[in-house]
Structure 1
């Protein structure tokens, strides 16, 4: 019997390893997805490195650079090489009528090998202007790529701070739910002693239910915002994100004056793009203007031909012929057709100039708005902190009175709502101040990957 099962005993170690491998793979599939601990600076770095919009902007920038190379190639000569073989019939010559013909024997095989070269010498500066246009378009593409990066930068910060805001509110909501549950127990105890009515228990239960509904809604909002952040960072949707908000414990103090912010804003990407596009319109008008000038090119050609049909009768010999010269052309029709084109091009130049002025006005308004609103929020924060102190003390007094049956359930509900509103307002103002700081950096063009982090401010909410 031992010899009968001996082969199976040899396979036992391998079966054991196979079982461990299968079990290990099964455990891997049930493990939790990866978790990322994100600071606000790491979030921005990941978004700038992996966001699809930024990748597309970089690709469009490369395409614009390639187009510049294509335009530069127009300065190079055009070189053609041509080869052909043909077999021809005899020549049938008609003398006076279709019936009076004479057949002339032809050499049936024809060969040709030729080359042509044409190099532009002058084209009314249209080629050079085309290169300048392509270079300006590449510069605009680079600026737009940088602008897309800044847009994703501020959007990532806004989403990150939005999640931070919701999580801060959630902590307060959870705390208040615990407070409401304790109050409900106290009201129920008073009801058992006959000190309160059933109506007060219902009010306490309703307040607890409303806060629980707020918690559910807040959690779902956090989930939605987390998915938006994952999309911005281009990470898998099953990845768990955890925010490390330690670096947000301080809010920034604005260092630049309003005039300095405005000066910086006039140099940001949007303004540079507007000025470049205004220059592009001028170059395009210059290119159209080139239609009023002739085109001059150097040309050359050579050819090997068989037979020699340049002579008659044709001779059955291979011959070579080359030529070189200058070709000049001038479009008479452009003298009257270009008038409409030039008028349209001039209007486009004026339109771009007005667009630049409008963008400058818009930037001025944005800087003024963000600067004033940041100052306003900084002034509101101490007020909200004082409101929390006042609401907390008011709630303590009303709660003591209620437990001593000196106040109604509506009084403690109003006091609690006032405290909750004060805490929510304080959290909102502090996070809004951080967001306004980054928005001011954005509108002034100072929002870069190495943008300064918030410092020197009140404590974290």
Structure 2
């Protein structure tokens, strides 16, 4: 199982996608921080100027005056935001929180992929065990059928006994054929999860043991203690906590839109011709400026009311969602813990039932060969033997899968 997990961490597309989202979120944080840097621009222009027309109004003759027709300019502008009402810092905080969400999403996807793989692998193991049980029962039934056929040829057994056992073998073979189809489906699902070639065949271990950690967890950990840990480490619970903080930050962002912005500006320009005189002079003129700019968004005083109202509602929604998530985590943890514990408790009983079913089948078949039992009793014993073997396999699978679901709820898978 651990080898499959390692392979999935390297090849699964969902994990690769969430890693790409984390990279993007990291870039967004840096982009938001860049808004604190000065904004610098350099421009140059060249063009054609016409003659200038003047209405003298008694101060000078009205008419057109010659102008230098070639114009060009070079300018440098720089500005630095000094105060934004907390908008910049809030933007950065939100971006960092969203990056934390992206990090949690990677963990969440990894745990989900592990749980999905564990489910597929255990399904595959169970199907292969069922296949093994059916093949064993088919072999035993065919061996018994040969003995019945010999007895039938000798006139000791009834033809109905032979037909019943042929039907039993046919039923087992049909079930085995259906098992192969289910094995192929589960195998294909695992290949898609692991991004492996279509012709790959995954064969599970011949047997799986109950990990010692399951025994330790069920014997030493109290449910209340596990529930406390789950709320600290569970991915969904941690996500809901971050969503709460993001909602608070977005409310701060909505409120900051009402506040003025203060920035420092610096500019310098070289222009030609000098047009502040008549006639204009074909010379370069340099002007520089430095100062403070204040932008007061008056319209936001009434436009932002709805935005603040929406952000406040989002906070209420996030708090309700957080409580709902915590309830779901507690419920899932309790259900998985109970399932795992009960399945583990029943396992010893199922082992005993399997042993008794095997012994009963041997005894019934021996009695049948000695004409001390009916053929129907042999078939019943065979079905009981099959059912007991499958129930043991199913119980082991349920214990291990419930354990993995428990680990995911605890945030430890």
- Class of the TM-score when normalised by the shorter of the 2 chains: over 0.9
Residue among 312, 317, 329 paired with 1:351: 317
Aligned to 2:133: 172
Report the Cα distance in structure 2 between the residues aligned to 1:314 and 1:145, rounded to whole angstroms.
67
Contact 1:68 1:134 in 2 (8 A): yes
Structure 2 partner of 1:222: 183
Partner deviation per Cα, 1:314-371 (whole Å, 9 max, x = no partner): 2111111110000101111111111111111100001001101000000000110011
Match of 1:209 in 2: 170
Tell me which moved more, 295-304 or 332-341.
332-341
Q: CA deviation at 1:106?
A: 1.4
Aligned to 1:253, the other structure's residue is in SS state helix
The 8 Å contact of residues 65 and 279 in structure 2, kept in 1 or not, is answered as no
Shifted more, 376-385 versus 241-250: the winner is 241-250
Give the structure 2 partner of residue 56 of structure 1. Answer: 17
Q: 1:245 to 1:101 in 2, by over 3 A?
A: farther
2:67 aligned with 1:124, yes or no?
no
- What is the DSSP-based 3-state SS (H/G/I as helix, E as strand, rest coil) of the residue aligned with 2:277? coil
2:59 is aligned with 1:137: no
**Higher mean C-alpha displacement, 402-411 vs 167-176:** 402-411
Contact 1:254 1:437 in 2 (8 A): no
| Residues 289 and 51 (structure 1), Cα distance of their counterparts in 2 relative to 1, 3 Å cut | same
2:225 is aligned, of 238, 260, 269, to 260
Aligned counterpart, 1:360: 326
For residues 275 and 56 of structure 2, the distance between their equivalents in structure 1, rounded to whole angstroms, comes to: 22
C-alpha distance 301-95 of structure 1, shift in aligned 2 (>3 A): closer
Runs (5+) with no aligned partner, structure 2: none
1:36 maps to none
Question: 1:403 pairs with 363, 369, 386, which one?
Answer: 369
**d(CA) in 2 for partners of 1:232 and 1:245?**
22
Q: Calculate the aligned-residue CA RMSD, in Å.
A: 1.9
1:199 match:
160
Residue 151 of structure 2 is matched in structure 1 by 190
Match of 2:296 in 1: 330
Which SS does the other structure have where 2:45 is aligned? strand
Q: 1:366 to 1:250 in 2, by over 3 A?
A: closer
Map of 1:33 onto structure 2:
none
Measured against aligned partners, the alpha-carbon deviations of 1:174-208 in whole angstroms (never above 9, x if no partner) come to: 10010111121122122212233322222111110
Residue 192 (structure 2) aligns with: 231
Deviation at 1:57, TM superposition (A): 0.6
Matched, 1:422 2:384: no
Contact 2:90/2:253 (8 A) holds in 1: yes
SS of the residue 2:294 aligns to: strand
What CA distance in whole angstroms lies between the structure 2 residues aligned with 1:101 and 1:328?
41
Task: Choose from 387, 393, 405 the match for 2:359.
Answer: 393
**Counterparts of 2:205 and 2:378 in 1: how far apart (Å)?**
36
Q: Distance in 1 between matches of 2:260 and 2:131?
A: 75
Partners of 2:374 and 2:131 lie apart in 1 by 28
Q: Tell me the TM-score normalised to structure 2 length.
A: 0.94
1:381-421 CA deviation, whole Å, 9 max, x = no partner? 11111211222232223223322333332221111111110
- 1:77 corresponds to: 38
| Shift in CA distance, 245/295, structure 1 to aligned 2, threshold 3 Å | farther
Partner residue of 2:410? 444
Structure 1 distance, partners of 2:298, 2:229, is: 50
Worse-superposed segment, 192-201 or 359-368: 192-201
Report if the CA contact (8 A) 2:125-2:205 is conserved: no
For 1:113-160, what per-residue CA distance to the aligned partner results, in whole angstroms no more than 9, with x for missing partners?
Answer: 001111111111001100000011101110111111111111112211
Which stretch of structure 1 is more off in the superposition, 281-290 or 218-227?
A: 218-227
Instruction: Give distance in 1, aligned partners of 2:400 and 2:90.
Output: 47
Superposition deviation, residue 245 in structure 1: 5.5
Query: Structure 1-normalised TM-score?
Result: 0.84
Long gaps (5+) in structure 1 = 1-39, 448-461
* Pair 1:314 & 2:276 matched: no
Give the superposition deviation at 1:374: 0.9
- Partners of 1:298 and 1:406 lie apart in 2 by 106
Deviations 1:206-236 (A, max 9, x none): 1101111111111222222222222222222
Using the TM superposition, name which of 384-393 and 340-349 deviates more.
384-393
